[in-house]
Amino acid sequence: MAEDGTLRGMRVLVTGGTGSIGRAMCRAFAREGADLAFTWNRREAEAGALAAELQGRGVRALHGRVGATDGPAIQAFCERVETELGALDALVNNLGGTQVLPFALIDEPDWDETLALNLKSMFLFSKAVVRGMIRRKAGVILNLGSLAGRRMLEVPVHYATAKAGVTGFTISLAKELARYGIRVLELTPGLIQGGIGDNVSERQLAEYNRYCALGRPGTAEEVAELAAFLISPRAGYMNAVSVQLDGGL
């Protein structure tokens, strides 16, 4: 996407901003003029460098270390964002992750942790920002799903279950919030280079490429370009949908 200021004047919060897709989205949104806030957990140096890079593009950027399921910390960070940047126009629920475990070796704490990381975090961040959006009768919530929650793939069961839950959360919340002019959407990538995509074996990669019409995995930058469009006014008539970005499977 050429730089055209599609998001100029918007204020956007991205969860999990130091992961490969999170970084790419922050960069794409800043390029299009949005002021940004993002969260991180373990990559303090990368977070500082990313914030400086975004500010170098002429936008405001702030970041914070926020636990994925720490409700009070999430609420406090969202309040800080609205105090320092202004009312949020968009929330991008990107935070997530998994353990590579066969079903027989998944213990109850593993199950709880994976569902909390991928689903509870989305609930907590959305809850923290939605009241302001309701008052303003405007806003966008974009949830990052996964093809793992929609197709029969060789992925950990608890991760696939969590990502399937993203779809239910999206369509239900979209129905509830439509009366307030708030859009809720899901972006569903296929196999993406970097992040979780780095966990696949050569055999799994070859199988994916065999069935993918474009014959390759996607990139974080391609996800970011679509995300920038979906949260922009250009997608103003898109709501309650899951948009797949998988190269044709």
The values of phi and psi at residue 193, to 5°, are: -65, 135
Catalytic residue status for 159: yes
**Side chain identity, residue 93:** N
CA 100 to chain CA centroid, nearest Å: 20
Going through the chain in order, the beta strands assigned E by DSSP cover 11-14, 35-40, 61-65, 90-93, 139-144, 182-189, 242-245
Q: What is the largest CA-CA distance in the chain?
A: 51
The count of other CB atoms within 10 Å of the CB of residue 70 is: 13
Report the distance separating Cα 223 and Cα 213, nearest Å: 17
The count of other CB atoms within 10 Å of the CB of residue 154 is: 12
Give catalytic residues, as residue numbers. Answer: 159
